[in-house]
């Protein structure tokens, strides 16, 4: 489906869709507490809204079982604008975020001890793109959209296909994906997302100054980025993760039907059930017989 035509406001008006990682498995072991992380993010969101009165902010919570919208400045702030931006945003966002965390935990199933579940990044990214397409098709003028991923959890290899599909959809719609990774290791998915869509990827070295990183790098609107020198990644990890052992690989086998990736050859795709090797073996056998048969 082709993207809807764009009807933009001024160059410096932004629609920022923030994907907020709420995975308790990560925050329980992080040097930065979740409450401290939220204080940095709330100050950043308030700054985005004060930079331009036409700016919009949407926050999507990313759990390990589900994801949901927890804040939309176009509706939440307008209902109680007389109380001020920051208090209304804090109370509305924190209330919905608490409800989301409870619901997401109730959906959890018993997992083997020691196994850490990744956040549902593919789901929140798809929701962000759906929201942006809905804005595109609303018929009214809209700001420049971009997505900001604030993630700390490890990549989920089982989400590889869904995430790559969403990344290419964002690229086709000219929606840059910015990413700020706050975990101990870096994220190959976020690096690829920012590289392919023309966004900015950064991994802060000092999490105590997260607000400064957010303001100096990710608060910049798309128009200003044409003449501002933002940090560029030293390298991008284009390696994929195999679906069988969840390992990052340099070379592997790809299913031609569903694009699942495996580190070793299998007779059957565990994702879509396609049979490997049978058709190729029969074709090779028929070709050998034809070459060996003497012409009469």
Distance between CA atoms of residues 171 and 198, nearest Å: 8
> Comparing 82-86, 97-101, 231-235, 279-283, which segment has the lowest mean pLDDT?
279-283
Instruction: Please give the DSSP secondary-structure letter assigned to residue 256.
Output: T
Domain boundaries for CATH 3.40.50.410 within the chain = 11-227
Percent share of the chain, pLDDT over 90: 44
Distance between CA atoms of residues 275 and 273, nearest Å: 6
Q: Is 114 left (phi over 0), alpha (psi -120 to 50) or beta?
A: left
pLDDT tier at 86 (50, 70, 90 boundaries)? low
The CA dihedral of 101, 104, 109, 113, to the nearest 10 degrees, is -40
Indicate the burial class of 240 (C-beta count within 10 angstroms; 0-12, 13-18, 19 or more).
buried
Q: What CATH superfamily is the domain 11-227?
A: von Willebrand factor, type A domain (3.40.50.410)
Residues in contact with 48: Cβ distance below 8 Å, sequence separation at least 6, in sequence order = 14, 16, 55, 57, 219
Distance between CA atoms of residues 223 and 253, nearest Å: 42
Distance between CA atoms of residues 167 and 258, nearest Å: 17
Token pair for residue 106?
A: 């109730």
> Comparing 41-45, 166-170, 276-280, which segment has the lowest mean pLDDT?
276-280
Segment (H or E) for 15? strand 14-21
Average pLDDT of span 236-260: 78
Checking if the pLDDT of 235 tops 90, the result is: no
Q: With contact defined as beta carbons under 8 Å apart, do 176 and 128 qualify?
A: no
> Comparing 8-22, 59-73, 81-95, 128-142, which segment has the lowest mean pLDDT?
81-95
Distance between CA atoms of residues 215 and 149, nearest Å: 14
Token pair for residue 141?
A: 């003028």
Q: With contact defined as beta carbons under 8 Å apart, do 230 and 220 qualify?
A: yes
Q: What is the pLDDT of residue 115?
A: 59
Q: With contact defined as beta carbons under 8 Å apart, do 190 and 179 qualify?
A: yes
Beta strands in 30-184 (DSSP E): 56-62, 67-72, 144-151, 177-181
pLDDT tens column, 134-150 = 998 886 678 899 999 99
């Amino acid at each position: 489906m082709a993207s809807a035509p764009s009807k933009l406001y001024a160059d410096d008006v932004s629609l920022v869709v923030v994907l907020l990682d709420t995975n308790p498995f990560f925050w329980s072991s992080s040097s930065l507490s979740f409450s401290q992380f939220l204080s940095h993010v709330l100050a950043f969101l308030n700054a985005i809204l004060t930079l331009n009165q036409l700016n919009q902010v949407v926050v999507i919570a990313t759990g390990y079982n589900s994801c949901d919208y927890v804040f939309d400045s176009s509706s939440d702030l307008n209902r109680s604008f007389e109380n001020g931006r920051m208090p209304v945003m804090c109370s509305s966002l924190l209330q919905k975020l608490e409800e989301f965390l409870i619901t997401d935990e109730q959906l959890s199933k018993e997992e083997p001890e020691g196994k850490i579940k990744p956040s549902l990044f593919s789901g929140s990214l798809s929701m962000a793109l759906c929201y942006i397409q809905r804005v595109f098709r609303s018929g009214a003028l809209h700001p420049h959209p971009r997505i900001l991923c604030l993630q700390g959890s490890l990549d989920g290899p089982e989400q590889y296909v869904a995430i790559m599909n969403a990344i290419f959809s964002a690229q086709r719609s000219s929606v840059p994906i910015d990413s700020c990774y706050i975990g101990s290791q870096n994220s190959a998915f976020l690096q690829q997302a920012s590289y392919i869509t023309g966004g900015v990827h950064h991994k802060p070295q000092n999490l105590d100054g997260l607000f400064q990183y957010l303001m100096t790098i990710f608060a910049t609107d798309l128009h200003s980025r044409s003449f501002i020198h933002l940090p560029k990644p030293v390298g991008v990890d284009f390696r994929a993760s195999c679906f069988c052992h969840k390992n990052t690989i340099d070379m592997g086998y790809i299913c031609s039907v569903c694009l699942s990736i495996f580190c070793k050859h299998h007779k059957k795709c565990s994702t879509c059930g396609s049979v490997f090797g049978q058709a190729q073996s029969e074709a090779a056998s028929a070709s050998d017989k034809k070459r060996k048969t003497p012409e009469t």
